[in-house]
Amino acid sequence: MGLQSTDRELKKGSAELLILSLLEDRARHGYEIAKLIDVRSHGALRFQAASLYPLLYRLEERRLIQRRRRHYRLTVEGRKVLAEQRKGWQKFVQAIHSITGIEYA
């Protein structure tokens, strides 16, 4: 597995978690979400519209987020899934840490 594909895999796996957690506090529209990801990750993660919106639509299909006018917000179901994914992610990172010795900064 090349570096690029690893990144892509990681990105794919975490993208939903990112979006869900960004919508935890308030409703946001598409561009806002992309901007936040870019800014908060200090440029490490960047989503184009062409990759962000498929994720948004998929999440909407699964009723984890809801679209009102131009804003997306978390549904009750979405909050549940967010909590689960957070826990899952934490466990995963700890496992990696125990095996590889990488600290979670």
Partner 1 sequence: MHNWQQLVRERLRGVNLEGAREAQVVEELAQYLEDAYDECRARGASADEALQRALTELADTRRLVRQLRKQEPAWQDPPPVLSRNRGGMSVFTLLYDFKMAFRSLRNRPGFSLMVIGMLALGIAANAAIFSILDGFFLRPLPFRDPGRLVDLDEIAPKWNLQFVGISNADSVGWRAAAAFEGMAFYRTSDVTLTGGESAQRVRAAQVTHDLLALLGLQPALGRGFSPEEDKPGGAPVAMISYGFWRRVYGGDPSVLGQTIQLSNNPFTVIGVLPAEAVIPDRADVWRPLQLDPNRNNGWYLRGIGRLNRGVSIDQARADLLRVHKLMPDSNANHAAATSPRVDPFGERFLGDYRPVANVLISAVVVVLLIACVNVAALMMVRGAARAREMAIRTAIGASRVRIVQQLIAENVPRRGGLPES
Q: Which residues bind partner 1 (CB under 8 A)?
A: 29-31, 34, 48-51, 53-54, 57-58, 61, 67, 70
Rg of the chain in Å (alpha carbons): 15
Q: Give min distance, CB of 60 to partner 1, in A.
A: 9
**Structural tokens at position 70:** 């131009």
Q: Give min distance, CB of 90 to partner 1, in A.
A: 28
Under 8 Å CB-to-CB from 104, ≥6 apart: which residues? 93, 94, 97
Q: Give min distance, CB of 67 to partner 1, in A.
A: 7
